[in-house]
């Protein structure tokens, strides 16, 4: 009985001790801290082409990024909802109004043309809502530019 237990348990115990012993024998105790003058991403063996080519350093370097050189896209801050007219509600009119809206460089809404309209005053309500759009114009090299966008206003009876 004891022979069976020892024959199965002894290799396990010896293997565990050998593994723990090897861990302590092969682990260095005095590991120096990396120098503080060198960036943390460049510390290492240097065998990686990623570190040698300094690609990562260039990715982190933001000195070349300036907002006046970048292209900043148009950002619509708020798009007010169009009001459903009583006449359209009585007549059960549903659908969407599609408008072509020019958003000017000075931050104002410019020309509005109707691409697809609806009856009973819904098109006029959509145009009135589009005139109240608040946005930041697109900037190219720091200069605001005008942009024409297509905007849909959907009307549905709940």
pLDDT tens for residues 79-135? Answer: 999 999 999 999 999 999 999 999 999 999 999 999 999 999 999 999 999 999 999
pLDDT at 49: 47
Distance of CA 125 to the CA centre of its chain: 33
DSSP 13-33: HHHHHHHHHHHHHHS-S-PPP
In angstroms, what is the C-alpha Rg of the chain? 34
pLDDT band at residue 50 using 50, 70 and 90 as cut-offs: very low
- Report which of residues 103 and 68 the model is more confident about: 103
Average pLDDT, the chain: 77
Q: How far apart are CA 62 and CA 98, in angstroms?
A: 41
Q: Residue 141: is its pLDDT beyond 50?
A: yes
pLDDT band at residue 26 using 50, 70 and 90 as cut-offs: low
- Report which of residues 31 and 49 the model is more confident about: 31
pLDDT band at residue 158 using 50, 70 and 90 as cut-offs: confident
């Amino acid at each position: 009985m004891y022979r069976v237990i020892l024959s199965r348990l002894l290799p396990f115990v010896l293997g565990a001790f050998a593994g723990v012993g090897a861990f302590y024998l092969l682990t260095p105790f005095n590991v120096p801290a990396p120098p503080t003058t060198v960036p943390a991403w460049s510390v290492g063996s240097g065998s990686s082409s990623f570190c040698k080519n300094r690609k990562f350093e260039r990715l982190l370097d933001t000195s070349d990024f300036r907002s006046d050189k970048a292209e900043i896209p148009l950002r619509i801050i708020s798009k007010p909802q169009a009001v459903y007219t009583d006449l359209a509600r009585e007549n059960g009119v549903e659908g969407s109004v599609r408008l072509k809206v020019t958003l000017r460089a000075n931050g104002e809404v410019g020309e509005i043309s109707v691409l697809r309209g609806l009856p009973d005053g819904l098109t006029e309500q959509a145009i009135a809502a589009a005139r109240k759009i608040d946005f930041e114009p697109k900037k190219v090299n720091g200069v605001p530019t005008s942009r024409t966008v297509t905007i849909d206003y959907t009307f549905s009876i709940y």
